[in-house]
Structure 1
Amino acid sequence: MKIATFNVNGVNGRLPRLLEWLAESRPDVACLQELKSPDENFPAAAIRAAGYGVVFHGQRSWNGVAILARGREPIETGRGLDGNSEDSQSRYLEAVVGGVVVGCLYLPNGNPQPGPKFDYKLEWSGRLEVHARKLYACGLPAVLAGDFNVVPTDADIYNPASWRDDALLQPEARAAFARLLKQGWTDAIRARHPNEAIYTYWDYWRNRWPRNAGLRIDHLLLNAELAPLLIDANVDREVRGRAGASDHAPAWVELDLPSIGLSDKS
């Protein structure tokens, strides 16, 4: 089974690039973030025509998450995180696909910091931590996939010095990510590439893509049932270099589980 995560940075404006990548990479499960679309405008028909069932949790102009499954319908099991009844931002969606619990998340950016946006980032991270602990121990294979908006270590960025004031590198944000790993979650890309400079995001500004001035902020975390089944993990970085591309590239894991193809709808 191949599970991917992709911050599309506007699902409607970049739909051709998304469909192109789905046809090329053929993930069994794809978690999308930053849809920037209300539910009524989400391109569900085009995605279904490409062979994917889909559940989505959109929001006008901002945020939004979706889970796609090749050849079947994801079974939605939750949306949003408990602990703040006033939080209306569309940032978390959960579904079961082929016996795997898939949590798709778009963690708040937090800039500018300090300030209310960074406070919200940490508050949301705290609620994620509580939910992740339950998900990790659910007894089923589980993955947390998405744009975490956290650079875990200085090895995950081309030049940490130039980003020290950014919310993505703040000690509190990094500590929150580290606490997830302490729960037992495996950072799949680091597990497969412990010493390699691998990035998933290249800002549009300052020629950062041609210079490979990237950051690793899109992650796939595997629980104890899923981590031993890890075969490979990487980034489809070439997607970032195409015309009209998102500023993120898809990241993915390959697992020793049956692939969910169009002929398998049980």
Structure 2
Amino acid sequence: MRIATWNVNSVNARLPTVLAWLEAAQPDVVCFQEIKTVDEKFPREPFESLGYNVEVYGQKSYNGVALLSKFPVSDVRRGLPGQDLLTGDADAEDQARYIEAVIEAPRPVRVGGIYLPNGNPIGTEKFDFKMRWMERLNAHARDLLALEESFTLCGDYNVIPLPEDAKNASAWVNDALFQPESRAAFRALKGLGLYEAGELGRQPPGTYTFWDYQAGAWQRDHGIRIDFHLLSPQAADRFVGVETHRDARDMEKPSDHVPVVIELAD
């Protein structure tokens, strides 16, 4: 089973590019982030024509996540448990940032798709909301681990875990993605007993997943690694490999992120 995560940065604006990548890469399951559309305007038919079942948790103009699967899905969840408790940020409870389902393959796997808050600027309510959201994600991950299932929590984590996950780490020292609190919260997630696919697959430093549109970041390879799969022990036992599809950043009208695809044994 091949499971992809990709922040598409507006699914309607980049639909031809997204469809072209799907036809070439042929993932069985895909989690999209930043679809930037409400559910009823999500372009379901082109994805269904490729054989995908489609689940959407959208939001007008901002955020939004979707889950596509060539297998049937069950136990679909939209939003983190306790999302209504994430108060403080404007309309926090309405931010569409998490979708989850059990993929009913011959060997089922649960997939959670994440668009973690950016948190900028630091020192504001937006950063506090990011940290509360990570605490809520940590609590949900603990509950999932107690089920002893195969699962991946994948998506755009908006965290640069290590200096080597940035071409120029010093450029990010005042950014919410690289704050000690953000990085510690990511380590705490892994510390629950989750396995990061890039580490399992021994991806080398410089395996970036995001390049800003500004200042020639892509041309100069000024990237960062912020898109991850965190696997349960049961999923890690099935881990075959991981691919970062850097070529997607060079497609026509690309997202600023690229897909990250894991393969699990049947």
TM-score, normalised to structure 1, is 0.94
Find the aligned partners of 1:195 and 1:11 in 2 and give their Cα distance. Answer: 30
Alignment match, 2:99: 93
Q: Matched residue of 2:223: which SS?
A: coil
Matched with 1:182 is 191
AA in 2 matched with 1:254:
E
Q: Deviations over 1:7-43 (max 9, x none)?
A: 0000101011111111000001101000000011000
Identity %: 44
Matches of residues 172-251 of structure 1 in structure 2 within 5 Å?
A: 172-193=181-202, 195-251=204-260
Superposition deviation, residue 194 in structure 1: 5.2
Which residue is equivalent to 1:3? 3
Cα distance in 2 for residues equivalent to 1:24 and 1:32: 17
Residue in 2 aligned with 1:32? 32
Counterpart position of 1:80: 79
**Matched residue type, 1:34:** E
Q: How does 1:115-134 map to 2 (within 5 A)?
A: 115-134=124-143
Q: Is the 8 A contact 1:68 1:74 kept in 2?
A: no
Give 3-state SS (helix, strand or coil) of 2:23's partner.
Answer: helix
1: CA distance, partners of 2:246 / 2:145: 29
User: What's the Cα RMSD here?
Assistant: 1.1
**Unaligned ranges ≥5, structure 2:** 88-92
The alignment covers a number of residue pairs equal to 256
Take 2:9 and 2:217, find their aligned partners in 1: how far apart are those partners?
17
Matched residue type, 1:47: F
Measure how far apart 1:183 and its partner are: 0.4
1:191 CA displacement: 1.8
- TM-score, normalised by the number of residues in structure 2: 0.94
82-91 vs 153-162, greater mean Cα deviation: 82-91
- Which range is displaced more, 192-201 or 91-100? 192-201
Q: Which runs of 5+ in 1 are unaligned?
A: 258-266
Is residue 107 of structure 1 aligned with residue 106 of structure 2? no
By how many angstroms is 1:76 displaced?
A: 4.0
74-83 vs 137-146, which moves further: 74-83
